[in-house]
Amino acid sequence: MTCIKKNSLPLLALFFVISWTASAQKDYNLWLQYNKISNTQISSEYNAEIKGIVSLGNSETSKIWLNELELGLNAMLGNKVVVKSKLEDDNVIIVGSKSVLTSEIQKLVESDFEKINDEGFIIKSILVKNKKQLLITGKKDVSVLYGVYSFLRWLQMNKSIKNLNITDAPKTTIRILNHWDNLDRTVERGYAGFSLWNWQKLPEFIDQRYVDYARANASIGINGTVLTNVNANALILTPQYLEKVEALANVFRPYGIKVYLTARFSSPIEIGGLKTADPNDAAVANWWKEKAKEIYKKIPDFGGFLVKANSEGQPGPQNYGRDHVEGANMLADAVAPFGGVIMWRAFVYSEHDANDRAKQAYTEFQPYDGKFRDNVIVQVKNGAIDFQPREPFHPLFGAMPKTPLMMEFQITQEYLGFSTHLVYLPRLFQEVLDADTFQKGKGSTVVKVIDGSLNANKITGIAGVSNIGNDLNWTGHPFAQANWYGFGRLAWNPYLDSEVIADEWLRATFSNDENFIKPVKDMMMKSREAVVNYMTPLGLHHIMDTGHHYGPGPWVSNLTRPEWNPVYYHKADKNGIGFDRSKTGTNATAQYAPELQKLFDNLDTCPEKDLLWFHHVAWDYKLKNGQTLWNGMALKYQEGVNQVKEMQDTWNKTEKYVDKERFKEVQMLLEIQYKEAKWWRDACLLYFQQFSGKELPKGVEKPTQTLKYFESLKFPFAPGN
């Protein structure tokens, strides 16, 4: 029996505090763990190749890269790397932007500089006066910083550095997080605590979290952040708040991150004392011009505004009989003199339009093609409804060739199990980016619309609705960090493979042990299909409980706006299930290029993953695997549940590769996910069974509760609402 002496208690407590802190620190450190390299061959190679650092320049950014290099190298190599003031020995890392390199070194990488844009970087083994050195450089300081993070990632992945020759540059200009953070620090659709921005203590109090947030973003190439919710509050534009925004911008600047704000269209009335916010009113236009001047005086590199107008009750130009172009262009004129942009959202649908909600954004926005100012970029969600587990790509992509369109992904898991379900989203993002729009013939993929290459657009961008809050681990679920990471990596290079990103993230976050990497990567890659299977298989969508969107609610039919009711989307009846968007239905298929229209219209060629998105299909319809639709659907729900069980089995075998705390956290979260996957399966199948009138097929577990029970569940305090 262990006996604890009385006076040893404080020591014991200290031990717990220390071990808790170290473990919690891991959660906090995201993918920047810089674990000590255990592979002796690799660590001796690194020790031989890295004898010191010579850092050139003395900007704030250069201090950051030097700190980061020291931190990363010391931790990974297990000894202190020497910082030198000049180049004497060989095997030194030389870090600095183009302008501070000696002409001899500049010459060595002349052709590499031609391959990169302003934000790109070069990492190259070079010979200077016959001595081997490693150069990290770029045209601007922030590009050097990107190079440093990329180099450290390389080491985190234990790759050889003997002969490096890397050039890399972002393929999009705006790589931005959209925080749906309110001024009271609640976060709309946020599942990781409260907002990071402590408005009450700003501008004087600079929370270390702001610095760490900027660091994490810079490490994956994110270069912008919209601090406030698209359901905007005009107060953010008052002097009282602008000085707080300025303080954040000052923290983010050396990390290459620009601050943007959401502009509430009615601000001239709410905080400007005007009687109208009509964009064609000279006083209104002038008010915005003056406001822009005021902001840029404080924040010279302010990025611009993100606007949600005339959508879900937000004010906009239509309140005055004007259109989106008039509204966006008026704001664009206000920020243009300072180099600002307007990101105008195309997420619109009206309760007064009885037509298919999925068609409305296209119908409204497509005719505006070519009418926006050069500094306007239209921000389009990945699908035509709303961030569902699976949606066909939004038909606007490729359909507005004369207008830059930016992608809006949702990193926070509003419709994908909040921060309790492990769902690796880069898989979903990649599916959308890889989709072929056929708008300029075969190969006109969404990614080519986004990077501007299809239509030679100058501004390009990808936005991600943030999943970050003040939870210790930032994102609620340790694996939700991979979605932040993956978003950033894809925003930098939307052609990257999601599996490669998962591999990087796992190595940088947990371990390089192949016995861990292989099964866990596999689990991540399958997790997206699992959530589709247990929530909305075969093209079903928006059948979540309404309002908070937590859990299943296919039965909900009593909300005033028809398109807020799940019954609007699944249309289950005695004859079958699904939304007929083909030419026999709402003809939404006509918004796609003719090749796709034909493909989607025809039941035989419509991809089964989108079947019920485009068609109302009989319960006895034969799927490609020979099952009837009813049986196939039920089996998909069961498959989703089984997949979560497999995820649990996989994770349970990883204990020896992961620290205790994160191992346990993920284990508990998977338990919730498993329970909720079964809830989804049982609730949906019991509900749909009323219409199909059929038995559950063999292999599908019988529900343990009644439909009445599931319908009675209420979640008054579901987060993020």
> Count of residues for the chain?
721
Q: Where are the alpha helices (DSSP H) in 29-53?
A: 40-49
Q: Which of 181, 278, 414, 661 is catalytic?
A: 414
3-state secondary structure of 175: strand
Tell me whether residue 414 is one of the annotated catalytic residues.
Answer: yes
User: Is the CB of 140 or the CB of 548 nearer to ligand GCV?
Assistant: 548
Q: Which of 70, 281, 312, 333 is catalytic?
A: 312
Q: What's the min distance (Å) between Cβ of 345 and ligand GCV?
A: 7
User: Is the CB of 188 or the CB of 301 nearer to ligand GCV?
Assistant: 188
Q: Is the peptide bond before 279 cis (omega within 30 degrees of 0)?
A: no
Determine the Cα–Cα distance for residues 237 and 516; give it in Å rounded to an integer.
49
3-state secondary structure of 627: coil
375 is written with which tokens? 């500094």
Binders of ligand GCV among 334-373, rule CB under 6 A? 347
User: Is the CB of 306 or the CB of 669 nearer to ligand GCV?
Assistant: 306
Binding residue for ligand GCV, selected from 45, 70, 90, 188, defined by CB under 6 A: 188
Binders of ligand GCV among 189-208, rule CB under 6 A? 189
Per DSSP, 419 falls in state G
| 497 membership: H or E segment, kind and range | none
121 is written with which tokens? 């970087």
The backbone region for 30, taken as left when phi is positive above 0, alpha when psi lies in -120 to 50, beta otherwise, is left
User: Is the CB of 49 or the CB of 386 nearer to ligand GCV?
Assistant: 386
The dihedral through the CA atoms of 145, 148, 154, 155 has a sign that is negative
Give the residue carrying structure tokens 């990107």.
Answer: 146
| Residue of 406, 398, 509 whose CA lies nearest to 465 | 406
Determine the Cα–Cα distance for residues 556 and 545; give it in Å rounded to an integer.
7
User: Is the CB of 158 or the CB of 388 nearer to ligand GCV?
Assistant: 388
466 is written with which tokens? 């943030």
The verdict on 31 binding ligand GCV (CB under 6 A) reads no
Give the residue carrying structure tokens 């993920």.
Answer: 666
Give the residue carrying structure tokens 């300029």.
Answer: 440
The dihedral through the CA atoms of 82, 83, 88, 93 has a sign that is positive
Q: What's the min distance (Å) between Cβ of 230 and ligand GCV?
A: 5
Q: What's the min distance (Å) between Cβ of 125 and ligand GCV?
A: 47
Q: What is the CA radius of gyration of the chain?
A: 27
Burial of residue 251 (CB within 10 Å: 0-12, 13-18, 19+) is middle
255 is written with which tokens? 């990390």
Give the number of residues in contact with ligand GCV, rule: CB under 6 A: 10
- Annotate each residue in 164-183 with x if it binds ligand GCV (CB under 6 A) or - if it does not, as one string: ----------------x---
Binding residue for ligand GCV, selected from 91, 106, 231, 667, defined by CB under 6 A: 231
Give the residue carrying structure tokens 């910083």.
Answer: 145
Q: What's the min distance (Å) between Cβ of 311 and ligand GCV?
A: 6
Amino acid occupying residue 184: D
Q: What's the min distance (Å) between Cβ of 188 and ligand GCV?
A: 5
DSSP states along 121-158? EEEEEEEETTEEEEEEEESSHHHHHHHHHHHHHHHHTT
The CA-CA-CA angle for residues 648, 651, 654, to 5°, reads 155
User: Is the CB of 409 or the CB of 613 nearer to ligand GCV?
Assistant: 409
Tell me whether residue 114 is one of the annotated catalytic residues.
Answer: no
Tell me whether residue 701 is one of the annotated catalytic residues.
Answer: no
Q: What's the min distance (Å) between Cβ of 450 and ligand GCV?
A: 18
Q: What's the min distance (Å) between Cβ of 546 and ligand GCV?
A: 10
Determine the Cα–Cα distance for residues 472 and 521; give it in Å rounded to an integer.
24
Binders of ligand GCV among 376-395, rule CB under 6 A? 386
Q: Which residues contact 611 (CB under 8 A, 6 or more apart)?
A: 538, 539, 578, 603, 617
Q: What's the min distance (Å) between Cβ of 178 and ligand GCV?
A: 9
Tell me the sheet residues that pair with 83: 53
Q: What's the min distance (Å) between Cβ of 174 and ligand GCV?
A: 18
Per DSSP, 589 falls in state G
- Annotate each residue in 280-319 with x if it binds ligand GCV (CB under 6 A) or - if it does not, as one string: ----------------------------x---x-------
Q: Report the half-sphere exposure of 677 (CA within 13 A, side-chain side).
A: 34
Amino acid occupying residue 314: Q
Q: What's the min distance (Å) between Cβ of 189 and ligand GCV?
A: 5
Active site residues: 312, 386, 414
Chain residues binding ligand GCV by CB under 6 A are 180, 188-189, 230-231, 308, 312, 347, 386, 414
